[in-house]
Amino acid sequence: MTDEIFYSPLTGLNERLRKREFSAVELTRAFAERLGKYGPRFNAVALPLTEIALRRAKEVDDDLKHDRFHGPLQGISFGAKDMLSFAGHPTTWGARPFASQVFDETATVLQKLDKAGSVLLAKLSMVELAGGGGYRLAGASLFGPGLNPWNPERWSGGSSSGPASAVAAGLVPFALGSETSGSIISPSACCGVTGLRPTYGLVSRHGAMPLSWTMDKIGTLCRNVEDCGIVLQAIAGSDSKDPGSAGKSFYYTPQYARKLSDMTLGFSPDDPDWADAESRPALEAALRTARDLGAKVLEVSLPEFPWGSLTDIIIGTEGGAAFESLIASGKVDELADPSQAAGLKANLGVLAKDYLRAMRIRSLVKQKFRELFTTVDVLVAPSRYNVAPKVSEPLDGPDPFPSGKAKGPGMTSLIPAGNLAGLPALSVPCGFGGGLPLALQFVGPAFSENSLLAFGREFQARTDWHLRRPPLSF
């Protein structure tokens, strides 16, 4: 198995499995060996499941032998963020107080992928409790800081740190992550992989750690845009066990996607001014490419709201309720980052009137986005305005968006804004700054995933940033 295999798209791997160029067992064993070699280097693995994966791969080989085909994910290994339960095995949520936690039911998304013939190879590391109390250290995890395959002195991003590192290093073909406010888009950008955050409610969260019932979303981190569409089709759909389920399915249909020339792309000319000096040239070039994809373009700006306060209050209040028993027991003090423990304790003190006021303002946020999407179909902006931070530096350093740096705020608040409104987002690699990856995000109205994928697919057809591989021989 050459490196080409480890960085192949899902359709390529599946086609070679069908042609019997190698078996599912051979492919699974190759990825397992690579995960065992490099996974610990990046603190990416929470729980290897090699023996179980090989048994499942043997079943897939039997299906393939008898021409029982189940789609493009059949025989493909993957990893899952350790917030998703896998029956009979530890699901730690990245936190020491839950290190021995075992559930007797498997998360819906893992059941769906198993039905599609995918092979769960490992649970992957994450920031403890998905950062629900706020954290200031990259090492806020039971498994240590997520290290970036492009430079292990840099962070892989949070809270889906393990999934981002594992996909970037070619340790798994794809991985499942989660986002409440940035936990797919940000690590995807840091590690140079393609990440898709779906519309709130499109993918079941049954069997996933609850942080914020009104904002949590399960999504995917992949090699390219097409892979994201394929995986989303497999995991999306109604689920009566998730009260937040939208009752909708998703079908990846690039052949029926609207022409880009029939759509309007919204952007802010102020965005590059917010980037640091080493990131600005690549982001400027990427935004020019995005504006030249064939769609009509229109300068826009986000509606003005206190984005940080809104997300802090809503996630904090709902997270405090979700982890009330942990806080009351005192075990919250076992967390790796003291600021996370302090934040969770403080969350229990949020007044009901403040939470309700934030939720009322949130309804205005959704209304303003509906109005914005009457003028544009998709928004584009940097996923991050700078490269991955050093692991040794606190994450709550100087304000990355100091006042007076640009004429306007641009799209700097698109991550919290999009999550508050429950909107889908697609992050695609778009260049490098100081040898580290940068990315653009495409954001659209609810359930517009196929439009986002159309923009991302055309962007990747014109660039090769998603094909770059990190040097693993430090």
Q: Are 175 and 80 in contact (CB under 8 A)?
A: yes
Output the CATH code of domain 3-259+417-467.
Answer: 3.90.1300.10
Nearest to 229 by CA among 60, 27, 446, 10: 10
Position 472 scores a pLDDT of 84
Indicate the SS3 state at residue 41: helix
Q: Which ranges in 39-149 belong to alpha helices (H)? A: 50-65, 108-115
Q: Strand order in 194-197's β-sheet?
A: 45-48, 119-124, 77-81, 175-179, 217-222, 194-197, 425-433, 436-443, 378-382, 264-267, 296-299
Q: Sign of torsion, CA 176 179 182 185?
A: positive
**CA separation for the pair 410, 129 (Å, rounded):** 31
Position 403 scores a pLDDT of 57
Indicate the SS3 state at residue 146: coil
Nearest to 182 by CA among 150, 141, 211, 143: 211
Quick one: tokens of 454?
């159309």
**CA separation for the pair 131, 118 (Å, rounded):** 29
Dihedrals phi, psi of 10, to nearest 5 degrees? -60, -40
449 C-beta neighbours (distance < 10 Å), count: 25
Indicate the SS3 state at residue 89: coil
Nearest to 119 by CA among 229, 222, 32: 32
Position 408 scores a pLDDT of 81
Quick one: tokens of 3?
């490196």
Query: Per-block average pLDDT, block size 10, for the chain (474 residues)?
Result: 93 97 98 97 98 98 95 98 98 98 98 98 98 95 98 97 98 98 98 98 98 98 98 98 97 94 97 94 98 98 95 97 97 97 96 97 98 98 97 84 71 97 98 97 98 98 98 74
Position 75 scores a pLDDT of 98
| Strand 147-148 with 151-155, pairing | antiparallel
Active-site residues, by number, are 81, 159, 183
Indicate the SS3 state at residue 332: helix
Nearest to 209 by CA among 147, 128, 120, 298: 128
Q: Sign of torsion, CA 15 19 22 24?
A: positive
Position 401 scores a pLDDT of 67
Q: Are 422 and 447 in contact (CB under 8 A)?
A: no
Question: Which residues, 6 or more positions from 365, have their beta carbon under 8 angstroms from its beta carbon?
Answer: 303, 305, 310, 417, 420, 421
**CA separation for the pair 343, 338 (Å, rounded):** 9
Delimit the domains of the chain by residue range: 3-259+417-467, 307-357
Q: For helices 352-372 and 307-322, what crossing angle results, to 10°?
A: 130
**CA separation for the pair 267, 378 (Å, rounded):** 9
Position 396 scores a pLDDT of 83
The angle at the Cα of 47, spanning 178 to 33, to the nearest 5 degrees, equals 110
Q: Sign of torsion, CA 190 193 199 201?
A: negative
Position 112 scores a pLDDT of 98
Question: Which residues, 6 or more positions from 398, have their beta carbon under 8 angstroms from its beta carbon?
Answer: none
16 C-beta neighbours (distance < 10 Å), count: 15
Quick one: tokens of 148?
């970036």
Q: For helices 24-38 and 10-18, what crossing angle results, to 10°?
A: 140
Q: How many helices (H) and strands (E) does the chain have?
A: 15, 13
**CA separation for the pair 204, 49 (Å, rounded):** 23
Q: Are 130 and 141 in contact (CB under 8 A)?
A: no
Task: Go through the chain and tell me how many residues it has.
Answer: 474
